[in-house]
Amino acid sequence: MSTDLPESTVSPPTESRFSPSRRGLMVTSTVVGGAVVAGGLFVAPDAVGDESATEAPSSQVSLIVNGERRTITIDNRTSLLDLLREHLGLTGSKKGCNAGACGACTVLVDGQRVNSCLTLAVRLEGADVTTVEGLTDGDELHPLQQAFIDEDAFQCGYCTPGQIMSGVGCIKEGHTGSEDEIREWMSGNICRCGCYVKIVRAVDQAAHRK
């Protein structure tokens, strides 16, 4: 088998490679006889059935989501975005990059806009979270939601919930003195459809109730 690594850096297979001291989960792309391999996750044979080796730490967290207290036990690694989408069924917040680069997952935490994909849910004990589902007042749309419709500020709509939540934050912060200022303070929200001109107009409309 060919390899790009210099010969001196390639370790020969040894018996100790999967010895009991190295048991547990290991990431691999190699199929090894007798091992369980699924989607790149390799479970060493002696770890199968050993629940203590695979059980992830979990915690209970209690927070307010759209005005309603929610208490839930989650894996400590769960992001706020996954808590909302996978555990609470609030799929308005979108998963774009899952890495803090697109803004599709933007929600408000204690009134501040955050990328929920980068926010650990277990750190939000007692926090007040608002998602796009929590913006309406009964059947009445939030002024910024209405402005997005009035200005036709979307195409596919995937970025729209994040744009609206970020716009709500932008207006609340007072960064709406000019279209340039809005553009600057909304720059963390990417629109692949290129609706930026209309998005800025919508934020401006809602900020100044034109």
- Binding stretches for ligand FES (CB under 6 A): 95-98, 100-105, 115, 117, 154-160, 191-193, 195
Q: Which is nearer to ligand FES, 96 or 169 (CB)?
A: 96
The phi and psi torsions of 40 (rounded to 5 degrees) equal 85, 0
Q: Which is nearer to ligand FES, 41 or 193 (CB)?
A: 193
Q: How far is the CB of 137 from ligand FES (least distance, A)?
A: 24
Q: How far is the CB of 28 from ligand FES (least distance, A)?
A: 28
Q: How far is the CB of 155 from ligand FES (least distance, A)?
A: 4
The H or E element that residue 112 is part of is strand 112-115
Amino acid occupying residue 145? Q
DSSP state of 128: E
Q: How far is the CB of 116 from ligand FES (least distance, A)?
A: 7
CA dist 115 and 166 (Å) reads: 10
CA dist 131 and 99 (Å) reads: 19
CA dist 153 and 195 (Å) reads: 6
Q: How far is the CB of 81 from ligand FES (least distance, A)?
A: 6
Pairing of strands 41-43, 25-27: antiparallel
Q: Which is nearer to ligand FES, 78 or 115 (CB)?
A: 115
Rg of the chain in Å (alpha carbons): 23
CA dist 135 and 142 (Å) reads: 6
Q: Which is nearer to ligand FES, 47 or 144 (CB)?
A: 144
The phi and psi torsions of 159 (rounded to 5 degrees) equal -85, -15
Q: Which is nearer to ligand FES, 113 or 142 (CB)?
A: 113
CA dist 58 and 122 (Å) reads: 9
Q: Which is nearer to ligand FES, 18 or 116 (CB)?
A: 116
152, 198 Cβ separation under 8 angstroms: yes
Q: How far is the CB of 188 from ligand FES (least distance, A)?
A: 8
